[in-house]
Amino acid sequence: MIRDIRTFIAAFAVVLSTTAYAQSEDKTAAPSLSLPALNALQDQTSISGLSSGAFMAAQFHIAYSKDLVGAGVVAGGPWNCAGSNPLIAPLTTAVSTCMDPCKYTRFWWFCPDSLFPDSTFLSDLAKDSAQDGIIDDVANIHDDKVYIFSGQADKTVVTKVVDSTNDFYLKLGVQADQIRYNTSVDAGHAFITDNPEDTVCDKTNPPFINNCNFEQATRLLDHIYGDLQPPVSTLTGKLIRFNQREFFESDMTSMDDNAYVYIPAACQGEQCRVHVALHGCQQGIETLDTEYLTGTGYNEVADSNKIIVLYPQIRKSATVPFNPKGCWDFWGYSGGNIPPYKYYKKDAPQMVAIKKMIDRLTSQPAQAGQQ
Query: pLDDT for 74-118, tens place per residue?
Result: 999 999 999 999 999 999 999 999 999 998 665 556 788 889 999
pLDDT value of position 192? 98
On the 0-12 / 13-18 / 19+ scale of CB atoms within 10 A, 362 is buried
Q: What whole-number distance in Å separates Cα of residue 67 and Cα of residue 18?
A: 34
- Residue 198's nearest CA partner among 79, 96, 297 is 297
- This prediction has a pTM of 0.90
Please say if the pLDDT value at position 1 is more than 60. Answer: no
Q: How far is CA 134 from each of CA 65, 77, 112, 148, rounded to the nearest angstrom?
A: 12, 20, 32, 25
pLDDT value of position 27? 39
Q: What whole-number distance in Å separates Cα of residue 309 and Cα of residue 292?
A: 12
Going by the DSSP 8-state scheme, the letter that residue 323 receives in this structure is B
pLDDT value of position 330? 98
Q: Is 189 a catalytic residue?
A: yes
pLDDT value of position 106? 57
Q: What whole-number distance in Å separates Cα of residue 220 and Cα of residue 231?
A: 13
What confidence category does residue 213 fall into, taking pLDDT thresholds of 50, 70 and 90?
very high
pLDDT value of position 113? 87
Q: ω into residue 207 within 30 of 0, thus cis?
A: yes
Please say if the pLDDT value at position 30 is more than 50. Answer: no
Which is it for strands 307-311 and 258-263: parallel, antiparallel or unpaired? antiparallel
- Residue 292's nearest CA partner among 301, 302, 282 is 282
Q: Is 67 a catalytic residue?
A: no
pLDDT value of position 9? 38
Catalytic residue among 52, 61, 167, 189: 189
Q: Is 32 a catalytic residue?
A: no
What confidence category does residue 148 fall into, taking pLDDT thresholds of 50, 70 and 90?
very high
Q: What whole-number distance in Å separates Cα of residue 45 and Cα of residue 141?
A: 13
Catalytic residue among 136, 144, 154, 256: 154
Q: ω into residue 36 within 30 of 0, thus cis?
A: no
Average pLDDT, the chain: 91
Q: Torsions phi, psi of 259, nearest 5?
A: -150, 180
pLDDT value of position 2? 35
What confidence category does residue 258 fall into, taking pLDDT thresholds of 50, 70 and 90?
very high
Query: pLDDT for 285-336, tens place per residue?
Result: 999 999 999 999 999 999 999 999 999 999 999 999 999 999 999 999 999 9
Buried b (16+ CB within 10 A) or exposed e, 94-121: bbbbbbbbbeeeeeeeebeeebbbbbee
Please say if the pLDDT value at position 21 is more than 80. Answer: no
What confidence category does residue 70 fall into, taking pLDDT thresholds of 50, 70 and 90?
very high
Q: What is the mean pLDDT of residues 32-58?
A: 96
User: What DSSP assignment string belongs to 56-114?
Assistant: HHHHHHHHTGGGEEEEEEES---TTGGGS-TTS-HHHHHTTTTT-TTTTGGGGT---GG
Going by the DSSP 8-state scheme, the letter that residue 217 receives in this structure is H
Please say if the pLDDT value at position 14 is more than 70. Answer: no
Catalytic residue among 51, 65, 317, 334: 51
What confidence category does residue 32 fall into, taking pLDDT thresholds of 50, 70 and 90?
low
